[in-house]
Amino acid sequence: SQTIHQWPATLVQPVGSPLSLECTVEGTSNPNLYWYRQAAGRGLQLLFYSVGIGQISSEVPQNLSASRPQDRQFILSSKKLLLSDSGFYLCAWSEVAEDTGELFFGEGSRLTVL
């Protein structure tokens, strides 16, 4: 069966520090991968999605970046965090061949920037 894991679950970082969130998927090949951010009282905001290794599409201009060094690994990074980067970050995957677009989410990472 397919599983998805992301870490760390919780982190508190000072403004201006770097960030690295990691996500891995098991049990499937060539998945579509996504990074979302969820702010309180707002809908999920798509940050990045990837349809293959090295292929990253950015939906929102910001100081975050994403990389996909391996087929089932997706990394969200920042060189210098801003206060506004605080939020709940979710990694997700979907089947490439599945047009329904059902998403399977990781456990989430809660980032607090102070």
What is the contact surface with another protein in residues (CB under 8 A)? Answer: 41-46, 90, 99-108, 110
Query: In 7-19, which positions are buried (b, 16+ CB within 10 angstroms) versus exposed (e)?
Result: eeeebebeeeeeb
Task: Look at the alpha carbons of 81, 82, 88, 92 in this order and tell me if their dihedral is positive or negative.
Answer: negative
Length of the chain: 114
Nearer to another protein, 37 or 72 (CB): 37
CB 80, min distance to another protein, A: 27
How is residue 58 annotated by DSSP?
E
CB 101, min distance to another protein, A: 5
Nearer to another protein, 5 or 79 (CB): 5
Nearer to another protein, 53 or 103 (CB): 103
Distances from the Cα of 12 to the Cα of 8, 76, 83, 88, angstroms? 11, 16, 11, 12
CB 43, min distance to another protein, A: 4
Nearer to another protein, 69 or 99 (CB): 99
CB 110, min distance to another protein, A: 8
